[in-house]
Amino acid sequence: MTDTQHIRISPSILAADFLHLGRDLEAIHDADYVHIDVMDGHFVPNLTYGTTIVEAASRATDVPLDVHMMVTNPDETALWYAEAGADLITVHIEAVRDLPALASELRGRGVGVGVVLNPATPVQAVADSIDDVDVVLVMSVNPGFGGQGFIESTYGKVRELRRLIDEAGSPAIIEVDGGVGPANAEALARAGADMLVAGSAIFRAEDPAAMIAELRARAAVGLAARGE
């Protein structure tokens, strides 16, 4: 999944209008992924949606589906979402029991796999998992609700993770989720992020497609300056 020339944008449908989901998915047809937050009301204090939304989204768009599982039992349920049409599934290091086994099962079905770090979880928690995953997702807000403020210490965490991945020679990319918008896209890309999840910034914009383009443009500046 490595692409050093392009920062991916993954709009989170948590901020979409579910009465007009097809319309909102069409508005982001130029995105790299569609981010789908699955919350079970146990791992996080919120309840969102299940496989039926993933199935509906897979019928409504050709954009790959990036399913973020904020659940207590990803080992048992991730395959449900693979069967529903997910192209990438990320699970929390705080919840998954056997990441190598789950990654093997998902990849066997042609689905990418990622591991997620909560804000309070140190980067070293995934040090032994880098070779098992395609993506490491850094939460830049406490998971559970959209529209939260960005946690500023995320930049340092992304830089640390970038060093870890590069030193390991891993092709895994870094995804950042929470409070992402035009104000921090450049800095996140410069710190080492490869994919940015944005919900409110995109779906509450007057022109979601234009906002995706703006985020890409700002992130491209940061990518070009990476390592300076």
In order of their start, the domains of the chain are 8-225 (3.20.20.70)
34 contacts 65 by C-beta, under 8 angstroms: yes
Separation of alpha carbons 16 and 4, rounded Å:
29
CA angle 135, 78, 161 (to 5 degrees): 20
Q: Is 75 helix (H, G, I), strand (E, B) or coil?
A: helix
- Catalytic center residues: 37, 177
pLDDT tens, position by position, 154-183: 999 999 999 999 999 999 999 999 999 999
Q: What does each C-alpha distance from 124 to 85, 96, 131, 163, 204 come to in angstroms?
A: 31, 16, 14, 11, 35
- What integer is the mean pLDDT of 2-26? 89
Q: Please give the pLDDT value at position 137.
A: 98
Q: Is 127 helix (H, G, I), strand (E, B) or coil?
A: coil
11 contacts 31 by C-beta, under 8 angstroms: yes
Report DSSP state, residue 12. B
pLDDT at residue 3 tops 60: no
pLDDT at residue 120 tops 80: yes
Q: pLDDT averaged over the chain?
A: 95
pLDDT tens, position by position, 49-104: 999 999 999 999 999 999 999 999 999 999 999 999 999 999 999 999 999 999 99
As given in the structure block, the two tokens for residue 66 are 């990036």
Q: Please give the pLDDT value at position 100.
A: 97
pLDDT at residue 2 tops 50: no
Separation of alpha carbons 128 and 219, rounded Å:
29
pLDDT at residue 147 tops 90: no
Q: Please give the pLDDT value at position 145.
A: 72
Beta-sheet strands, E only, within the chain: 8-11, 34-39, 65-70, 88-92, 112-117, 135-139, 173-177, 195-198
pLDDT at residue 1 tops 60: no
Q: Percent of the chain at pLDDT above 70?
A: 97
- What integer is the mean pLDDT of 146-160? 91
What are the start-end ranges of the H helices in 97-184? 99-108, 154-168
Report DSSP state, residue 204. T
Q: Please give the pLDDT value at position 5.
A: 67
**Phi then psi dihedrals of residue 34, to 5 deg:** -110, 120
pLDDT tens, position by position, 67-81: 999 999 999 999 999
Separation of alpha carbons 46 and 30, rounded Å:
29
The pTM assigned to this predicted structure is 0.95
194 contacts 220 by C-beta, under 8 angstroms: no
Q: Please give the pLDDT value at position 195.
A: 98
